[in-house]
Amino acid sequence: MKKVLVSASILSSDFSNLYYDVNDVVLSGSDWIHYDVMDGNFVNNISFGVSVISSISFKINAFNDIHLMINEPLKYLDDFLKCNPNLITLHYETIEKNKIKNIKEYLNNKNVKLGISIKPNTDIPYDILNDVDLILVMSVEPGFGGQKFIDSSLEKIKKLAQYREKSNLSYLIEVDGGINQETGNKCVKVGADVLVSGSYIFKAKDRKEAINKLKELV
């Protein structure tokens, strides 16, 4: 059985009780914690930044997955490197693609992986797949939690998995937005490795069960 990784998005957590709520999800079995940084510019919402992430990321026993939905991400890269990240994901739409190889080298030298994310209407950038550790397929328009999964994301995941196989590459495929047991199952079947999930996990009556249901997908 294929091992599925779960990355819980803190956007749906109880901000008045942030560390405890996030740690509860870690103790319930979430492998990764997903931090959605939004600048009110690249997306129509403002979330949180370096100081909020740092208040959790050093204290939990999980892989720190930072998703930057911001314009000019390179300007802030060194700031986010101070947040104890394991992975930093930038949006393909916000960077010049000829810089990606160098960014990966820069991050990998600091033991941090590089992810590149694509919005629902962005085509797969095949020419950069050699230079990323992970590709994040957005299955909703970025900006808000609790939206409905866009079905056409499945075709993208499938193509990314086929291309990886054919080209002998090893990037991970992560999917983000509208993930629950049903949509997560479909994503894993076509090749996804990491499922980001916010509302489905944080609002579940039994978080352990919700996370296990995502992980048990074949």
Contacts of ligand DX5 in 147-176 (CB under 6 A): 147, 176
Residue nearer to ligand DX5 on the CB measure, 67 or 104: 67
Query: Which C-beta is closer to Zn ion: that of 177 or that of 191?
Result: 177
Letter string b/e over residues 97-110, b meaning 16 or more CB atoms within 10 A of that residue's CB: eeebeebbebbeee
**Is the dihedral angle over the CA atoms 86, 111, 61, 161 positive or is it negative?**
positive
Residue least distant from Zn ion (Cβ): 67
* Residue 178 found at the interface with ligand DX5 (CB under 6 A): yes
Contact residues for 116 (Cβ-Cβ < 8 A; gap 6+): 89, 90, 91, 92, 100, 125, 128, 132, 134, 135, 136
Beta strands in 47-131 (DSSP E): 63-69, 87-91, 113-118
Q: Residues in contact with Zn ion, total (CB under 5 A)? A: 3
> Is 52 within 8 Å of 71 (Cβ atoms)?
no
Residues ≥6 apart with Cβ < 8 Å to 166: none
Applying CB under 6 A, among 4, 5, 6, 11 the residue interacting with ligand DX5 is: 11
Residue 199 contacts which entry, ligand DX5, Zn ion, none (Cβ below 5-8 A, type-dependent): ligand DX5
The answer to the question of residue 39 lying near Zn ion (CB under 5 A) is: no
Which residues neighbour 20 within 8 Å (Cβ) at sequence distance 6 or greater? Answer: none
List 31, 133, 176, 193, catalytic entry: 176
Strands annotated E in the chain: 5-9, 32-38, 63-69, 87-91, 113-118, 134-138, 172-176, 194-197
Cα angle 24, 205, 190; round to 5: 85
Q: Which among 31, 36, 131, 133 is annotated as catalytic?
A: 36
| Footprint of ligand DX5 on 73-132 (CB under 6 A) | none
| 36 labelled catalytic | yes
Binding mask 21-40 for ligand DX5 (x = CB under 6 A): -------------x-x----
Work out which of 198, 210, 211, 217 binds ligand DX5, going by CB under 6 A: 198
Give the number of residues in contact with ligand DX5, rule: CB under 6 A: 21
Which residues contact ligand DX5 by CB under 6 A?
9, 11-12, 34, 36, 67, 140, 142-143, 145-147, 176-179, 196-200
Catalytic site positions: 36, 176
Which residues contact Zn ion by CB under 5 A?
36, 67, 176
